Amino acid sequence: MKACLLLFFYFSFIFQLHGADVKIKQNESMMGSTAMTYDLSEEKLMKLKYKSQHGDSEASFRLYQYYCFTKNNIYKQLRYLERSASQGNVTAQFNYGVFLSDTNPILSEYYNLNKAIYWMEFAVNNGNIDAKSKLQELKKLKLKLKRMDRRKNKENP
């Protein structure tokens, strides 16, 4: 539960910064909860799943948001976030790279610096301006970790 809450707040912030636009349902107040904003009818859910399976990156990203903010299902969140990134969604590429580089102990099983750099490079190459600074940060971290590993190996031959 802590992981879901952490992801909720973390990605709420990311989406605000990186333009994940979601249309508010008609006749719903702007004061509604995030879960209500990202909720889907059964019919809409099925249509989005079909579109996602057939290459629609926006549908995949919308399903990611649904499982992140409404269902709190981390496995499906990641499935659709990675799919959307693979399908060329630049926001998904950036967000997936951020997620994979998160050092929070709750998310440690997903940490993969090399994969994070890979996706951040995609985001940069596809025009995400914010990804440039994040990519530099990740590459510096990788270099720092390599240096620390070399020192450790020298001390313990």
Q: Which two tokens stand for residue 95?
A: 């967000």
Q: Tell me, what's the pLDDT at 16?
A: 44
Intervals of the chain under pLDDT 50:
1-2, 5-6, 8-9, 13-31
Q: Tell me, what's the pLDDT at 104?
A: 85
Which structural domains are found in the chain, ordered by start?
2-155 (1.25.40)
Up-side HSE of residue 138: CA atoms within 13 Å toward CB?
26
Q: Quick one: which of 85, 75, 98 has its CA closest to 17? A: 98
CA 67 vs. chain centroid, Å, equals 12
71-116 per-position pLDDT tens digit:
989 899 999 999 999 999 999 999 999 999 998 887 788 999 999 9
